[in-house]
Structure 1
Amino acid sequence: MTTVTDAGEELSIAIGHFDGVHKGHQDVIRRAVEAAGNQQRKSAVLTFHPHPKDVLSHGDQYVSCLTPLDAKLERFAELGVDYTFVMKFDQDFANVSPERFVSDVLVPLGVRHAVIGFDFHFGHRGAGDAGMLTSLGSELNITTEVVEPLLLNGKKVSSTYVREALGEGDAELAKYLLGRPYEVNGTVVHGHARGRTIGFPTANIGLTAPYVTPRLGVYAVFAEVGGVTYPAVMNHGMKPTFKDGETAPVMEVHLFDFSGDLYDQTMTVRFHTFLRAERKFDSIDELIAQIGRDRDEARDRLIQADEAALSSTKRPV
């Protein structure tokens, strides 16, 4: 994947911010890829960074993300996109009129077919919509395709829906909306090392981006480190039993069947199932007993997940 087209290439392009690259976004992007194949053109995505709301919110910042930019680029490549263009979204770009967006951005890129979601807006104050892009594009030999929303139980699949699911701890719903488990990436940092003293060593994760973080509590997760994926249980919370004076939630991951030093290594955590809310225990022994139950439940849930994934790949006899 590259960010520059060869001279003279014509593009079928999907346009949007695409935070999460959820199933609705995937529909838009796949249509651009399919159209490119049918029209013997190259496929592309035009996305924006940072999030427009982060620039336009005037203090009410939209800084958290479902997919940091590098993760979005990986998802685009997996969907078969040939080129990705990352447009810096700043106040100057926010002031660009819809007409100039088409003439000064799309035309120079060689766009001949644009694919957008039904609620896509562009240009100064979001004045441009699907109808305007269709009209402006027709004058410049650009066709426009509008993809209708993907619905789940009558509700639009959207980045907001994914955020709501994570806020409720519904990792299964988030996985369904995204088409993959929700994941965060981070570096293993030093903590208080109490987990080791009570028989459950944990890796404290320092997130590498301002991810949307799920509801506080205990989760069954898969943790990937050094190219190997381990079943694990994770506590995302304030550690109230120890009264450490934490001012922000901490992600602590206990990997099953692992021994070794993880400090400073990169770890990807994929959320599978919410097990329980975080709570304060009256004693360390009570906490240890509950962690043991959490570990056993997480292991059972993850074994079932592996068996389900295996059976889904088997061909019927």
Structure 2
Amino acid sequence: MWVTSSLTTVLKPAKVALGNFDGVHLGHQQVIREVLHDATSEADFLTSSSKAADQTSKAGRAYTTVVTFNPHPQEFFSGRKRLLLTPVREKVEYLKILGVEQVVLLPFDRELVSLTPQAFVETILVRHLEAKHVSVGENFRFGCNRSGSVVDLQELAAGYGISSSIVRLRRLEDDRISSSIIRHALELGNLAQANRLLGRPYRLIGTVVKGQQLGRQLGFPTANLKLPDDKFLPRWGVYSTWVELGDGEAMVPGVMNLGCRPTVAGDRPTVEVHLLDWQGDLYDRPLTLHLIGFLRPEHQFDSIATLKGQIQQDCQAAREQLARKPLLKSTASGEPPTVKRGE
């Protein structure tokens, strides 16, 4: 996969899926799938000219490309750090799994914000990407003051011979699939809803660092994870999780605690996981936690003995929950891929 933040190093011509894609959830995947195979049912589209895109791909090579924005537009406009469901490295991994050949991390800056819809199409899609097809969700807005609609995009693109697909917003049962709804579900500890809309378990990816070793003193050694600073964290509490160790090892069941550990006077939030039925040295190793279920919120216990008893109950509850929801290695990705980056 080619990953670049410079429009001077993109591979072109391109078939482009355009959007923020934070989470790469089931709705995002529908938008992206259109530039991968052009095989999505017409019922999923408000308007589509996929046949034209398919004919173009047969006539000449067009790279399947996701164009996303960095930083997130809300971070640019608010001036505050935006916590992400999928930080850039994690997002790139998911896109690679889907079959995307190129990711363009378009710098979201004042120059980009000032472009009119016409200038955006001319500069980004036509001049730099030589786009043959563009796919967006029906709520996509672009250009100065978000003045461009999907209808504008389709009409402007058509003027340059670029075909397009406007993908309907997806629903799953009674839930609309959106990053904001997934965030809200995670804030409530509603992993069932979040994972259903994502189409996979929510993940935390980090490196094991040395902690205070309090878990070891309690008889439940834990691995403390250092996560990306911009990773969105779910509700504080205890979770059942499948732990991916990498290096071809099988998934290991575990219990994760997220929070400040009030019973032992913790002074800052930590992410620590106790691996069930596994022992070994994990320091400096990357771990991927696939969160399966929310067991309980964080709680301050009146004694260490009471805390130990609760941890034993948590371990048993996690075993039972994970036994009902196995996670095969083949359904999960391993370490984030090594990618080339443009200058």
User: What is the TM-score of this pair, normalised by structure 1?
Assistant: 0.90
3-state DSSP of counterpart to 1:241:
helix
Q: Answer yes or no: is 1:114 the counterpart of 2:117.
A: no
Equivalents in 1 of 2:96, 2:211: separation in Å?
A: 36
3-state DSSP of counterpart to 1:184:
strand
C-alpha offsets along residues 53-89 of structure 1, whole Å, 9 cap, x if unaligned?
11111x3x25100111111112112112222222111
Equivalents in 1 of 2:174, 2:115: separation in Å?
A: 35
Match of 2:278 in 1: 258
Match of 2:48 in 1: none
Match of 1:16 in 2: 19
Q: CA deviation at 1:159?
A: 0.6
1:56 corresponds to which of 77, 101, 105: 77
Q: CA deviation at 1:52?
A: 0.9
Match of 1:315 in 2: none
Equivalents in 1 of 2:222, 2:177: separation in Å?
A: 35
3-state DSSP of counterpart to 1:197:
helix
Match of 2:102 in 1: 83
Match of 1:104 in 2: 123
Equivalents in 2 of 1:255, 1:154: separation in Å?
A: 35
Contact 1:220 1:272 in 2 (8 A): yes
Contact 1:187 1:208 in 2 (8 A): no
1:293 corresponds to which of 308, 313, 331: 313
Q: CA deviation at 1:250?
A: 1.2
Equivalents in 2 of 1:2, 1:37: separation in Å?
A: 22
3-state DSSP of counterpart to 1:261:
coil
Equivalents in 2 of 1:174, 1:89: separation in Å?
A: 27
Contact 2:56 2:132 in 1 (8 A): no
Q: CA deviation at 1:184?
A: 1.2
Match of 2:339 in 1: none
Deviates more, 1:227-236 or 1:291-300: 227-236
Equivalents in 2 of 1:137, 1:226: separation in Å?
A: 44
Equivalents in 2 of 1:38, 1:213: separation in Å?
A: 44
RMSD: 1.9
**Structure with more contact order per residue of length (Cα contacts < 8 Å, sep ≥ 6):** 2
Match of 1:94 in 2: 113
2:64 corresponds to which of 22, 33, 43: 43
Corresponding letter in the other structure for 2:101: D
Q: Answer yes or no: is 1:2 the counterpart of 2:2.
A: yes
1:272 corresponds to which of 287, 292, 297: 292
Ranges in structure 1 where 5+ consecutive residues have no aligned partner: 313-317
Contact 2:207 2:284 in 1 (8 A): yes
Corresponding letter in the other structure for 1:203: A
3-state DSSP of counterpart to 1:169:
coil
1:211 corresponds to which of 225, 231, 237: 231
Q: How many residues align?
A: 304
Corresponding letter in the other structure for 1:17: N
Alignment of 1:242-257 (within 5 A): 242-244=264-266, 246=267, 248-257=268-277
Deviates more, 1:32-41 or 1:267-276: 32-41
Q: CA deviation at 1:153?
A: 4.2
Q: Answer yes or no: is 1:33 the counterpart of 2:36.
A: yes
Ranges in structure 2 where 5+ consecutive residues have no aligned partner: 4-8, 39-52, 332-343
Q: CA deviation at 1:185?
A: 1.2
Deviates more, 1:81-90 or 1:26-35: 81-90
Equivalents in 1 of 2:35, 2:56: separation in Å?
A: 10
Corresponding letter in the other structure for 1:88: P
Contact 1:234 1:252 in 2 (8 A): yes
Residue identity (%): 39
1:160 corresponds to which of 155, 170, 180: 180
Alignment of 1:126-275 (within 5 A): 126-227=146-247, 228=249, 229-244=251-266, 246=267, 248-275=268-295
Corresponding letter in the other structure for 2:275: L
Corresponding letter in the other structure for 1:11: A
Contact 2:81 2:230 in 1 (8 A): no
Corresponding letter in the other structure for 1:24: G
C-alpha offsets along residues 17-42 of structure 1, whole Å, 9 cap, x if unaligned?
10000000000000111236564243
Deviates more, 1:103-112 or 1:30-39: 30-39
3-state DSSP of counterpart to 1:140:
coil
Distance of aligned partners of 1:148 and 1:226 in 2 relative to their CA distance in 1, 3 Å threshold: closer
Equivalents in 2 of 1:66, 1:38: separation in Å?
A: 36
